[in-house]
Amino acid sequence: MGYPVLFEKTLPVVPRRLLFTARRDRADLPDLPPGAVYVFKVDGRQRLYGDRHLDLADPTVVEAVAVSLVLRRPALITAQFTIPSTSAADDFTVAATFRCQVLAPEAVAESGLSDLAALLTSHLAQDRDLKTLGLSYRIDDINEVRRVVDAQITAYCTLVPPNVRGMSIELNSVVVDPSRDLREQSRRIRDKKWQHEEGRLDMAWQDIEVQRYRDLIAAGPAHVDALGIARNEINVGQLSDRMHDDDRERRQQLGATLQMMVDRGYFDRMPIDPVRLLDEVAGRSMGAAPSRMLAEGTETAGAVGAGPRTRPAAERDTESTEPDPIPSEEDIA
């Protein structure tokens, strides 16, 4: 179907019968769609039948030699055409949409206009400036072309509006579509940018995770174990057994170190009990509160007498050399 004349047809002559009223056969007339009206041609003139039920015995219907279906509802009609760009390989596709409505169905039926889009396209093609407007732009200058084409068509339709007898026509919108090649190229570039952005975000997140785990490791084994427990990746019972084993091994190492110090005479000049020292150092390494063992040892030494303990002469004579330097508490720990 076209627009605004949807359909038109020549009607046959209605046969006359004596004693019977002339009546046109219903099959002679096309069905009337919603929004359309019948326009009959009688005695060389177009006559609007109007919004009423069809009477096949009506003189207008019986005497008509032709009938037209005219759509009276408003419609949006698009005129599409192309204008060249600076490249001979690419063109800009322009689509100008007009809001149209039939005001006088008789005049429209008389013109027989059934392709309003072609008429509007021809009207815009008469604008010489519009034809050469795209020659100054490349195909990728689509946004600037949209602006200038819209302004040109709006100005032209304001100064030289489309004129169709019996109709109201107004410019509704102007769209400039990119070429198919440009659209595909832009889509590929867009997808690449998205992929690069996703890759950049992934790398940034990995850097954050690396720094986070680095901080966890720097905080010490206890912090890492606590994180494993919080994530249900480490069993508390297994961790407890491992800590007890580590403590037992540490005490054995400290005991061997203190035994070596006793054998070398490190404690001959210090009022410190090696057994209490072992408990002190082992307790601090496990995070226990420090005792006052050293202070107590000092006070005890002061109560017994000033200065270091006097060793027997026989014991001093048996030694040929001085004992090794006395290590500090930090060295022992």
Instruction: Give DSSP secondary structure letters for 87-155.
Output: STT-EEEEEEEEEEEES-HHHHHHHT--BHHHHHHHHHHT-HHHHTGGGGS-TT-HHHHHHHHHHHHHH
**Residue 326 clears pLDDT 80, i.e. is over it:** no
What mean pLDDT is predicted for residues 66-76? Answer: 94
Q: How far is CA 203 from CA 196, 198, 207, 208, 245, in A?
A: 10, 9, 6, 9, 41
pLDDT at residue 170 in the model: 96
Least confident residue range of 29-38, 58-67, 166-175, 211-220: 211-220
Q: 321 falls in which pLDDT band (50, 70, 90)?
A: very low
Rounded Cα distance, 72 and 6, in Å: 10
Tell me what pLDDT residue 10 has.
93
The answer on pLDDT for 278 being more than 60 is yes
∠ CA 143-144-150, nearest 5°, is 90
The token pair that represents 263 in the structure block: 């054998």
**Confidence at 320, pLDDT banded by 50, 70, 90:** very low
CA atoms within 13 A on the CB side of 58: 15
Cis peptide before 33 (omega within 30 of 0): no
Token duo for residue 9: 């047809």
Please check whether residue 134 is in contact with residue 84, taking contact to mean a CB–CB distance below 8 angstroms.
yes
Mean pLDDT over residues 271-282, rounded? Answer: 67
Beta-sheet strand order (sheet of 45-48) = 5-10, 66-71, 36-42, 45-48
At residue 328, does pLDDT exceed 90? Answer: no
What lies within 8 Å, CB to CB, of 172 at 6+ separation is 76, 97, 98, 99
Residue 320's SS3 state is: coil
Alpha helices by DSSP H, listed for the chain, are 59-63, 105-111, 116-125, 128-131, 142-159, 180-218, 221-230, 236-263, 274-285, 293-304, 313-318, 329-332
Q: What pTM value is reported for the model?
A: 0.57
CA distances from 114 to 71, 305, 307 (A): 10, 129, 127
